[in-house]
Amino acid sequence: DTEVTQTPKHLVMGMTNKKSLKCEQHMGHRAMYWYKQKAKKPPELMFVYSYEKLSINESVPSRFSPECPNSSLLNLHLHALQPEDSALYLCASSGRQGVGETQYFGPGTRLLVL
């Protein structure tokens, strides 16, 4: 199984809502990533978890809160988002965090904040 799954595929939320994005992989990977991608732009790294511990936080606003409850699951909790947070949110995983590791991407969650 070389698949990274993400749910939901699409999400529309208001600025006062709380929602969560979910990412799952069963490849035994120990590094997991959240990226944000705006239209016609490359992905921007948000967070990296390595062995279920937060390794990199790219100065992301606190309205985005990541969580890695176990080695297969990665969540992104959303609260009080702004319309400019509307984007495609991609999850990825790799065997470990390191140079030369292939990252396997999920299909993404397309988020619209109204």
Partner 1 sequence: KNEVEQSPQNLTAQEGEFITINCSYSVGISALHWLQQHPGGGIVSLFMLSSGKKKHGRLIATINIQEKHSSLHITASHPRDSAVYICAANAGGTSYGKLTFGQGTILTVHP
Name which position in 36, 68, 106, 113 contacts partner 1 (CB under 8 A).
106
- Yes or no: say if 81 and 113 are a contact pair by the CB < 8 Å rule: yes
Name which position in 45, 60, 73, 80 contacts partner 1 (CB under 8 A).
45
Residue written as token pair 């470990």: 96
Handedness of CA 1, 34, 72, 15 (dihedral sign): negative
Q: Dihedral (C-alpha) 105, 21, 9, 36: value to the nearest 10 degrees?
A: -50
Decide: is 74 part of the binding site for partner 1 (CB under 8 A): no
Residues from 3 through 32 that contact partner 1 (CB under 8 A): 31
Name which position in 61, 101, 112, 114 contacts partner 1 (CB under 8 A).
101
Q: Using the rule CB under 8 A, give the single segment among 15-23, 63-71, 72-80, 85-93 that binds partner 1.
A: 85-93
